[in-house]
Chains A and B, each alone.
Chain A
Amino acid sequence: MSEMIDPFIKALDQVEQTGPAWLDALRKQGAQDYRTLALPHVKLEQWKYTNLKDLRGAEIAAADAALLDALPATLPDLDAYRLVLVNGRFDADLSDLGGLSDKALVKGLEQALEDGDIETLGGGFEDAALVSLSDALLRDGAFIRIKRGHMLDKPIHLVILSVGSDKLTASHPRIVIDMQDGASATVIETHMGANDSAVVSLPVSEVTVAEKARLGHYKQQLDNAQSYHLAHSAVTVAEGATYDSFVLQLGGKLARCDVRCLIDGAHADVRVNGAYHAGNGQHVDNTSFIDHAAPDAKSAENFRGVLDGDGRGVFQGKILVRQIAQGTDGQQMNRALLLSEKAEIDSKPELEIYADDVKCSHGATAGDMDEDQLFYLMARGIDADTARKLLIQAFLFDVLNEIDYAPAREIFHDAIAAKLGEIA
């Protein structure tokens, strides 16, 4: 054979056949589509800056269900309902879902399928090979449904753990969040490795925020520096609904979060914000697509990144304003701080507008530290090294203010400080 074998093809031989008929159909379709699409390569516009070549020839096994005695010590302690996935499988022992109202369904996805809570899955992505792969291998994950008009009393902490082995293993957690009309909740996701082995984590999220519902959705990606994190998230936001989201990416050898957000109702308010830091040997990609398909909605994207050593960042952000979407307000900004000669940022903002009454802007900056700020700190006695550290962290801390939910701001603040080093 002239071509290298696709690392995921083998896994398609073991497609599950449990569950309802529609699910089988989805898996079969997924397998078929993945065989056609195959692992994304850099000739695809969407993957121009993020090269999966290291995975191409790799031998990747499906991750086994793993037993963990305890949660990682570095996991933030939150007053929250906790749903834990280990290698994509729901872990009832590590989860803590006591005291939930009957208006909130929070459980493993496999259980939800068994309970008949779900009638359909999939959709929201076109030509996304890794989503097709996830469809083919769909088995378990997290399921959250907040029923009509219910306001959840505590946030939900989704803890998505990977346990690697001596082989490179892949897991495919599916995360389903269904906010019914007028419901309100906050979901914090923490993705991390439970050990130092390399893994491939391929989470796919399907989020619906129905009329006048509200979801605060904050994700921190803290996978270990050997691992691959390739996440897809499809979000549909209905009329008058609010989706306040943030993605903090600090981990991974190669990490990409691809968020596609369909604004399906007027006066929706969508915020897709994020922060990232890539040090030596790290590649971090934030790709987003905001589809304004309804009038008078608002979307805001504000990203900040710090690239150090030979770290590389990618920002691809597309805003589509359809003809029907008059009165759209769409703002997008990516600001990157480059700390070394070898660091790199590729920013690709894209605006496609078919309506005439819109307020849209996009921008990208890449630069060095602000000399005025540096001098100001030094003029107050703070040495150059400390001043630099303070400013680098501050650059990222600042964008955390976009997060509506204060405890999430604090957790992300601590995660940044933990990676970049506490300042004495």
Chain B
Amino acid sequence: MSLLEIKDLQATVGEKQILKGLNLTLRPGEVHAIMGPNGAGKSTLGYSLAGRDGYEVTGGSVTFDGKDLLEMDPSERANEGLFLAFQYPVEIPGVAGTTFLKHALNAKRRHHGEEELDGLEFVKFLRGKAKELGMNDEMLKRPVNVGFSGGEKKRNETLQMSVLEPKLAVLDETDSGLDIDALRVVADGVNRLRSPDRAILVITHYQRLLDYLVPDFVHVLADGKIVKSGDKSLALELEEKGYAEFVSAA
């Protein structure tokens, strides 16, 4: 059974139609990459899946693990197992990283009828996860993303992902703003999350992340639609030739 099934998805931002009938199917265990030129609708796809206000779905359907995703509010989508790693993670002064993640994890646990973790249990659990990503206690105590470098913010997104253990992770331009070392740390973190029952959707402009996070399928998104699909060799081809072919076709 597919984990995510997007059929003929149409979405507008403001008055403008951005997604114009997008089809995509992900099965558990698969890593898909969506590549495309600027303005093709890559971020709109991520936000539409996560349910952000202002990204209005005007047609089509999205089924997530057998349920109608578009019926749910953003927090329900997250609790059902959808995770969007933000291109620009938001700074939240006044909310400590640990507090934030504890609320997030316990919301999910409640949603699934599981016992909530108390403060101590949670800190233990979180420390283990953070260590894998080279994040120390001091970073966890700081307010969410405040004063973090670009690399630290992306590492923090990866940490959240590993804590929340989603069924589907959507990575929106996760490589942007990273140096090569940070890129490796983040890619390693994501690779550790690869598993037979989890799918990953990597949205990216460049091929570089895919050297470390090797996809099973690569799709080209241009003018709001998937215009070409292939295996990982398609990414290399795009890197070489650029998107000119697809932009002119659109």
Contact = CB atoms under 8 A, between A and B. Distances in A.
Contact of A382 (B51, B89, B107): B107
B94 A397 contact: yes
Nearest to A378: B74
B104 A381 contact: yes
Interface in B34-93: 50-53, 73-75, 77-79, 84, 86, 89-90, 92-93
Contacts of B92: 373, 376-377, 391, 394
A379 B74 contact: yes
B74 A375 contact: yes
B111 interface: yes
Contacts of A377: 92, 100, 103-104
Interface residues of B, number: 30
Interface string B99-121: 11101110110010000000000
Contact of A380 (B73, B93, B100, B143): B100
Nearest to B160: A380
B143 A381 contact: no
A372 B90 CA distance: 7
B86 A378 contact: no
B190 interface: no
A interface: dominant SS? helix
A151 interface: no
A398 B104 CA distance: 20
B16 to A, nearest CB: 19
A378 B78 contact: yes
Interface residues of A, number: 24
A384 B73 contact: yes
A422 to B, nearest CB: 12
A142 to B, nearest CB: 32
Contacts of A375: 50, 52-53, 74, 90
A423 B78 contact: no
Contacts of A398: 93-94, 143
A396 B107 contact: no
A86 B164 CA distance: 52
Given A375-B74, A378-B78, A379-B74, A386 B94 contact: no
Interface in A362-399: 371-373, 375-384, 386-387, 390-391, 393-398
Interface in B105-155: 105, 107-108, 111, 143
Contact of B107 (A371, A372, A383): A383
B89 A376 contact: yes
A248 to B, nearest CB: 14
B95 interface: yes
B53 A383 contact: no
A271 B77 CA distance: 45
Nearest to B103: A382
B33 to A, nearest CB: 21
A212 to B, nearest CB: 31
Contacts of A372: 90
Contacts of B160: 380
Contacts of A384: 73, 75
Contacts of A397: 94-95
A378 B53 CA distance: 11
Nearest to B80: A381
Contact of B94 (A382, A383, A387, A393): A393
| Residue picked from B95, B99, B105, most chain A C-beta under 10 Å | B95
Nearest to A398: B94
Contacts of A371: 53
A380 B164 contact: yes
Contacts of B77: 379
Given A376-B89, A398-B143, A381 B111 contact: yes
A394 B94 contact: yes
A157 to B, nearest CB: 25
Given A371-B53, A398-B94, A379 B89 contact: no
B103 A423 contact: yes
A390 B104 CA distance: 12
A390 B97 CA distance: 12
B53 A381 contact: no
A416 to B, nearest CB: 10
Contacts of B78: 378-381
Nearest to A376: B90
A398 to B, nearest CB: 4
| Residue picked from B73, B92, B94, most chain A C-beta under 10 Å | B94
Nearest to B85: A379
Contacts of A393: 94
B94 A381 contact: no
Contact of A386 (B86, B103, B111, B164): B103
A390 B160 CA distance: 18
A398 B92 CA distance: 9
A181 to B, nearest CB: 37
B94 A378 contact: no
A372 B107 CA distance: 20
Contacts of B104: 377, 380-382
Interface in B164-197: 164
- 9 closest A-B pairs by CB: A394-B94, A398-B94, A381-B78, A378-B74, A376-B90, A397-B94, A380-B104, A398-B93, A381-B107
Interface of A: 371-373, 375-384, 386-387, 390-391, 393-398, 423
17 contacts: A372-B90, A373-B90, A375-B52, A376-B89, A377-B100, A378-B73, A378-B78, A379-B84, A380-B78, A380-B103, A380-B160, A380-B164, A384-B75, A391-B92, A391-B94, A395-B93, A398-B94
Given A380-B164, A381-B164, A395-B93, 7 more contacts: A377-B92, A379-B78, A380-B107, A386-B103, A387-B75, A390-B99, A398-B94
Interface of B: 50-53, 73-75, 77-79, 84, 86, 89-90, 92-95, 99-101, 103-105, 107-108, 111, 143, 160, 164
